[in-house]
Amino acid sequence: MAKKCIYCKADIHDDRVLDVCNRCGVGVWGEKMFNAILRNMGEANDKGDLCNSNISSNEPPAKLGNSRISFM
Ligand SMILES: [Zn+2]
């Protein structure tokens, strides 16, 4: 499925998890940082724990589990 860059609305044709094209990504983060972000997010996506690792950086996993259950 085609995604669009959140900055310039250009189509993104690869399956990256970040909705930012290469040009904007490099402009915002710099080339090294952008590549590192893509690599880190790609690895998290491969393991299937991207959502968990994003949220658990703010909240401890135990608390997250409890709130998720009470919402459902
Ligand atoms: Zn862009």
pLDDT in tens, 19-29: 999 999 999 99
For residue 50, the enclosing domain spans 3-71
- Sequence-distant (6+) residues with CB within 8 A of 20 are 5, 6, 7, 12, 28
Share the mean pLDDT of the chain: 75
For ligand 1, the distance from its centroid to the CA atom of residue 35, given in whole angstroms, is: 15
Which tokens in the block code for residue 28? Answer: 């915002």
Query: How many domains in the chain?
Result: 1
Total-model pTM = 0.54
Supply the pLDDT for residue 14: 86
For ligand 1, the distance from its centroid to the CA atom of residue 64, given in whole angstroms, is: 33
For ligand 1, the distance from its centroid to the CA atom of residue 12, given in whole angstroms, is: 9
For ligand 1, the distance from its centroid to the CA atom of residue 11, given in whole angstroms, is: 8
| d(C-alpha 21, C-alpha 8), whole Å | 8
For ligand 1, the distance from its centroid to the CA atom of residue 10, given in whole angstroms, is: 6
| d(C-alpha 34, C-alpha 28), whole Å | 8
The crossing angle, in degrees rounded to 10, of helices 31-47 and 22-29 is: 120
pLDDT in tens, 42-65: 777 666 655 555 544 454 555 444
